[in-house]
Amino acid sequence: MQLKEKTAFITGAASGLGLAAAQRFIAEGANVMLFDLDATRVQAAADELGACASWSAGDVSDEAQVTAAVQKTVTTFGGLHINVNSAGIGAAAKTVGRDGPMPLEQFHRVIRVNLLGTFNVLRLCAAAMQKNAPQTEDNERGVIINVASVAAFDGQMGQAAYSASKGGIVSMTLPVARDLARDGIRVMTVAPGIFATPLMQASPEPVKDALIDMIQFPKRMGLSEEFADLAAHIVTSSYLNGEVIRLDAAIRMAAR
């Protein structure tokens, strides 16, 4: 599927990976609906991107808010063809720490936003994609790109909640792709390594240095533009389906 004249619904779109994907898609001729919890930032991002961008603020795990945003997308741009789910949160806490067991609500919140939120958005976007006319000779109607993490495979100490949430995204990639195959909708997951997002850049220098030390080559954090390059490639390469791609410069996370 070509990006030109298609419409993408991107979560976590006010900054980082989501914003980079939006910028790349628009450069290729697509329209983009930016969805983010931060109304002020997502509106500013949409204003900067221009007429090919619109925005909606909400919680990815809230069915009513996402439903309204998906409908706004279809109304504004006439359809919905691509969904990129990059919204997510982290919460570092050991299973049992100095103050006792990890609060269950903390674990629940990470699962709710990262895993439940991803599934909530993709299912509602897929329902909109089903209504599309075939876009290619293969009768392709849509592409969904979920964002997991290398923590799904080798999470560090204190990452039980985050790793579980991202591992769930990895595990549901193939069954969701199978569910949506008859509708001509492809489903892929990207598992980024250490990227220079605003959240990571705010980390203390010793933390960043320790993470970079585990990266093989190139010996640096990933750039949001590199994620956007891969997202664009996934959209345009129609034989990619039901798979997880690690985008991590061969990092393997140490225990801590």
> Can 239 be counted among the known catalytic residues?
no
d(CA 32, CA 150): 27
Name the catalytic one among 162, 184, 194, 214.
162
Tokens of 179: 């569910």
For the chain, the first-to-last Cα distance in angstroms comes to 41
CA 79 to chain centre: 20
- In single-letter form, the type of residue at position 16 comes to G
- In single-letter form, the type of residue at position 103 comes to P
H or E element, residue 31: strand 31-36
- Could you tell me which of 186, 194, 253 has the C-alpha nearest to residue 226? 194
| Upstream peptide bond of 218 is cis (omega within 30 degrees of 0) | yes
- Residues contacting residue 182 through CB under 8 Å, at least 6 positions apart: none
Active site residues: 162
